Amino acid sequence: MRLIFSSLTIIFLSFNISNSQILQNDTYQYFIDLNKAENDQLEIELITPVISTATTEFKLPAMVPGTYRVYNFGRFVSGLKAYDKSGNELTTEKKDVNSWEISNADKLYKLKYFVDDSFDDTSDEKIFEPAGTSIEKDSVFIFNNHGFFGYFKDNLKNEYVLNFTKPDGFYGSSSLANTIRNNNLEVFTAPDYQFVVDNPIMFCLPDTTTINFDETSVLISVYSPGKGVKSKDLSAKLKDLLNAIRNFLGGKLTADRYTFIFYFTNKEGSGSFGALEHNYSSLYFMPDVPKESAPYMINQLQSTSAHEFYHTVTPLNLHSEEIGNFDFNNPKMSKHLWLYEGVTEYFADYIQLREGLVDLKEYGKNIERKISGSMMYNDSLPFTEMSLGALDKYEEQYFNVYQKGALIGLSLDILIREESNGSMGLQDVINIMLQKYGKDKSFKDEDLFDEIVALTSPKIGEFFQNYVAGDQRIPYSEIFSKVGIKVKSIPYNKIDMGGVQMGFNQKTYRLVIKQIAEDNSFVKELGVKNGDELVSINGKQINFMTMREIFGSLKNKIKTGDNFEMVVARNDESGTEKMETLKGVVSKVKTAFDSEVIIEKDLSEQQIKLRTAWLGK
Ligand SMILES: [Zn+2]
C-alpha cells in the first residue's frame, strides 16, 4: 500500500514541480532543495494554504517551547516575496522582526524567502544550538523547523507537507511521519504547526541504530564529523537507561516512537552545550570528541538523555495553560519551572539511582554539586517569581532550575514519603495528575499547589508557601537527613568579581571575559578588558577544573588585602596574542558556602524506613 502511494505521489510531485503549478489547498506545502544551499543559506518555497482574508500576517516564532528564551527566528529570514497564481508579486510589508503583512492575501499562492542558519550567527544574541538551525552544504543540516517554516496567524492548525530534495544518500532523522523516502527525496508531514515545531529533522549521511521495545521504537542518529562517537556505542548505553526509565514508569515508555538526534561539533558555537526536549525526540549539541574520549562523553550523555526523556512526562504531558496553549509570538510564562525543569532534573538522576545505574555515594556527590551550584544564584528569590520572570527580569537566574529546581524535587519526594508513611512518592503524585491532565489538557497555574496538597498533606503546602513561592531558604540538611543524607555547610571567602560575564574559548580552552559591569571596581582596577582570556592567578593555571578553587575556596583561603596577580592573553591591534600580567590587591570578598554531603550509615529506625521507601529497596 505504502509503496504504491509513494511512487504515485512522486510522479505527481515531479510533474507539478516542473510545471510549477501545484494545486493549492488547505495545507502548507513547503519545498526545500538541500543541494542548492549556498553560503549557509537556503531558499524556501511555500505553496500557501488558501487564505480568505484581504490581508494576512506570515510569522516565524519569537520563542519555542522548552527554551524559555526569546530568540526571534524571523531575524534569519531575508528577501521574502509573495506571489499570486500567475506569478505576479503581491505587496508585503515587514511589521516586526518576526512578521510580514501580505496585501491581497485572498490571491496569495506562493511565498519565497531565504533563511540563514543560526549556528553561524555572529551577533551577540546567540541561539542555544539545540533550538537552532545549521546549513552545511554536503555535510549536515539541522532543521529545527521553527527556524525555517512559518505560519499565518489564523492558520496554525493546518497540515504541513515538507518536501526535501537532498544529496545522494542523505537521511532525514526525525519522528515526523515520513510519506516518501528515496535516494534524493524525502517528504514529511505534520498535522499542525505545533507538531512541525515539536519534531526537528537532521539530514546527513546516516549513522543510526534502532532500539525496539514492545511499545516504542527508538532511533538513535549521530552526526560526528570526527567519527569519534558512534550510534552503536551510544545505543548500548541508552538501552540500559531506557530500560531503567521504562521500569520506573511502570513498564511502558511514554511515547510510541522516539528519536535521539545527536549533533557533535568541532566548531566554536554559542558556548553552551546541551539538548532540547520534544514529545517524540530530543536534539543534542555536544563537542565532537576523539574515539578515546567517547566513553566519557557517552556517560555524560546518559544523564542528559535521562533528563530530556523525562520531559515526555513534564512539561509535555503535565503543564499549565501557558505551555499548553503556547503562543509562539507572545509567550507567557508559568510559575512552575520548578516542576518542568527542576523535577525533571531530579528524576533524571533519581531514576538512575533507583534503578541501579549509579550508587548512593555517586548520587551524594551530585547533590553536593547541585547545592554548591545553587549558591551561585539568588537563593532567597522565590522560585515562582523567578519562573515568571525567566524571559526578562530574572534571565540570569534561569539556570538555577537545574540546581535548586532539582533540590526542590528531592525535598518534595522525601517529604511526601514521610507524610504518607512511605507509601507514596513524588512520581505517584505525578502519575495521578497525568491521568487527569495529559498532553491536551492543561492545569491552571494558580491551582497546582492546591491540587498537589489535596493529593498529599498540608505539610507539603507549607513547603510550597515557604520555599517555592516564599523567600525562605530550604533547610536541606533537615530534610535530607530524613533519609540519612547529611549536609554540612561550610563558609569561606571568595573574591568578589562583581558583575563579570565569562565565556569559554573552545580553541584555546580558556575562560574569556565577555562583559564587565560598569560599577565593578576590582576587575576595572586590575585593568581587565573585554576579550581577555584568563591564563593564571597567582601562578596557578586557570581551567575548568581549577576555576572554582582559584577565586577562593575552602582549600584556597583568600582575604581582603591579599596580593593578586593575574595573567591574561590579549590580542594587540595586529591581532597577535600577548601575555599581560595584571597586579592588584584583593579589595572585596564575599562569603560563600561549600557543602559536604555525607551518606550516613548509622540510621535510626525511622531513617531506615524512609530511605528504603525512597530507594524502593
Ligand atoms: Zn529540560
pLDDT at position 105: 96
Cα(309) to centroid of ligand 1, in Å?
Answer: 9
Indicate the pLDDT class of residue 506, thresholds 50, 70 and 90.
low
Cα(400) to centroid of ligand 1, in Å?
Answer: 12
Cα(454) to centroid of ligand 1, in Å?
Answer: 27
Indicate the pLDDT class of residue 10, thresholds 50, 70 and 90.
very low
Of 523 and 137, more confident: 137
Cα(65) to centroid of ligand 1, in Å?
Answer: 11
Cα(317) to centroid of ligand 1, in Å?
Answer: 14
Cα(515) to centroid of ligand 1, in Å?
Answer: 27
pLDDT at position 412: 98
Cα separation of 500 and 517, whole Å?
Answer: 6
The residues that bridge with 203 in the sheet, in sequence order, are 141, 172
pLDDT at position 456: 97
Spatial neighbors of 444 by CB under 8 A, at least 6 apart, are 320, 321
Cα(342) to centroid of ligand 1, in Å?
Answer: 8
Cα(68) to centroid of ligand 1, in Å?
Answer: 10
In whole angstroms, how far apart are CA 455 and each of 46, 126, 319, 388, 431?
49, 42, 17, 25, 11
Cα(129) to centroid of ligand 1, in Å?
Answer: 14
State in Å, rounded, how far the first CA of the chain is from the last one: 51
Cα(406) to centroid of ligand 1, in Å?
Answer: 11
Cα(272) to centroid of ligand 1, in Å?
Answer: 14
Cα(344) to centroid of ligand 1, in Å?
Answer: 7
Cα separation of 270 and 128, whole Å?
Answer: 6
Is the pLDDT at 163 greater than 50? The verdict is yes
Cα separation of 521 and 528, whole Å?
Answer: 11
Spatial neighbors of 561 by CB under 8 A, at least 6 apart, are 585, 586
For residues 397 and 342, the answer to whether their CB atoms sit within 8 Å is no
pLDDT at position 99: 97
Cα(379) to centroid of ligand 1, in Å?
Answer: 20
For residues 423 and 614, the answer to whether their CB atoms sit within 8 Å is no
Is the pLDDT at 615 greater than 70? The verdict is yes
Cα(150) to centroid of ligand 1, in Å?
Answer: 25
Torsion angle, CA of 442/443/445/451, rounded to 10 degrees?
Answer: -160
For residues 384 and 470, the answer to whether their CB atoms sit within 8 Å is no
Cα(369) to centroid of ligand 1, in Å?
Answer: 18
Tell me the pLDDT tens digit for each residue of 424-467: 999 999 999 999 999 899 999 999 999 999 999 999 999 999 99
For residues 282 and 309, the answer to whether their CB atoms sit within 8 Å is yes
Cα separation of 48 and 110, whole Å?
Answer: 6
Of 521 and 247, more confident: 247
Cα separation of 255 and 309, whole Å?
Answer: 10
Nearest alpha-carbon partner for 595 in 493, 490, 494 = 490
Cα(519) to centroid of ligand 1, in Å?
Answer: 34
Tell me the pLDDT tens digit for each residue of 336-373: 999 999 999 999 999 999 999 999 999 999 999 999 88
Pairing of strands 208-212, 201-204: unpaired
Query: DSSP class of residue 145?
Result: G
Beta-carbon-side half-sphere exposure of residue 304 (alpha carbons within 13 Å)? 20
Cα(292) to centroid of ligand 1, in Å?
Answer: 28
Cα(417) to centroid of ligand 1, in Å?
Answer: 25
Is the pLDDT at 147 greater than 50? The verdict is yes
For residues 245 and 216, the answer to whether their CB atoms sit within 8 Å is no
* Average pLDDT rounded to a whole number, residues 98-117: 97
Nearest alpha-carbon partner for 453 in 443, 445, 468, 463 = 463
Cα(398) to centroid of ligand 1, in Å?
Answer: 12
Widest CA span in the chain: 83
Beta-carbon-side half-sphere exposure of residue 313 (alpha carbons within 13 Å)? 29
Is the pLDDT at 27 greater than 90? The verdict is yes
Cell numbers found for residue 602: 548509622
Alpha-carbon dihedral sign for residues 574, 579, 583, 587:
positive
Residue type for position 517: A
Indicate the pLDDT class of residue 520, thresholds 50, 70 and 90.
low
Cα(128) to centroid of ligand 1, in Å?
Answer: 13
pLDDT at position 544: 58
Cα separation of 126 and 130, whole Å?
Answer: 12
Cα(227) to centroid of ligand 1, in Å?
Answer: 27
* Average pLDDT rounded to a whole number, residues 508-524: 76
Cα(346) to centroid of ligand 1, in Å?
Answer: 11
Pairing of strands 151-152, 160-165: unpaired
pTM > 0.75: yes or no:
yes
Report the share of the chain in percent with pLDDT over 90: 69
pLDDT at position 592: 79
Cα(341) to centroid of ligand 1, in Å?
Answer: 5
pLDDT at position 549: 74
Cα(277) to centroid of ligand 1, in Å?
Answer: 7
Cα(206) to centroid of ligand 1, in Å?
Answer: 27
Of 266 and 78, more confident: 78
* Average pLDDT rounded to a whole number, residues 73-79: 97
Indicate the pLDDT class of residue 8, thresholds 50, 70 and 90.
very low
Beta-carbon-side half-sphere exposure of residue 61 (alpha carbons within 13 Å)? 26
Tell me the pLDDT tens digit for each residue of 170-201: 999 999 999 999 999 999 999 999 999 999 99
Cα(99) to centroid of ligand 1, in Å?
Answer: 29
Cα(323) to centroid of ligand 1, in Å?
Answer: 14
For residues 336 and 408, the answer to whether their CB atoms sit within 8 Å is no
Tell me the pLDDT tens digit for each residue of 212-263: 999 999 999 999 999 999 999 999 999 999 999 999 988 988 888 999 999 9
pLDDT at position 15: 38
* Average pLDDT rounded to a whole number, residues 288-310: 91
Cell numbers found for residue 61: 516564532
The residues that bridge with 578 in the sheet, in sequence order, are 570
In whole angstroms, how far apart are CA 97 and each of 59, 69, 71, 335, 391?
9, 16, 10, 28, 18
Tell me the pLDDT tens digit for each residue of 409-426: 999 999 999 999 999 999
Cell numbers found for residue 615: 530507594
Cα(600) to centroid of ligand 1, in Å?
Answer: 31
Cα(278) to centroid of ligand 1, in Å?
Answer: 10
The residues that bridge with 42 in the sheet, in sequence order, are 115
Report the phi/psi class of residue 40: left, alpha or beta, with left for phi > 0 and alpha for psi in -120 to 50: left
Residue type for position 510: R
Of 124 and 315, more confident: 315
pLDDT at position 1: 23
Lowest mean pLDDT among 277-286, 311-320, 537-546: 537-546
pLDDT at position 61: 97
Cα(589) to centroid of ligand 1, in Å?
Answer: 34
Cα separation of 457 and 495, whole Å?
Answer: 44
Cα separation of 617 and 613, whole Å?
Answer: 7
pLDDT at position 5: 34
Q: Across the chain, what does the average pLDDT equal?
A: 90
Cα(401) to centroid of ligand 1, in Å?
Answer: 9
Cα(304) to centroid of ligand 1, in Å?
Answer: 9
Cα(69) to centroid of ligand 1, in Å?
Answer: 13
Cα(308) to centroid of ligand 1, in Å?
Answer: 6
Angle at 465 between CA 462 and CA 469, to 5 degrees: 155
Is the pLDDT at 38 greater than 60? The verdict is yes
Cα(67) to centroid of ligand 1, in Å?
Answer: 8
Cα separation of 447 and 4, whole Å?
Answer: 52
Cα(496) to centroid of ligand 1, in Å?
Answer: 30
Cell numbers found for residue 296: 566519557
Cα(225) to centroid of ligand 1, in Å?
Answer: 26
Cα(311) to centroid of ligand 1, in Å?
Answer: 7
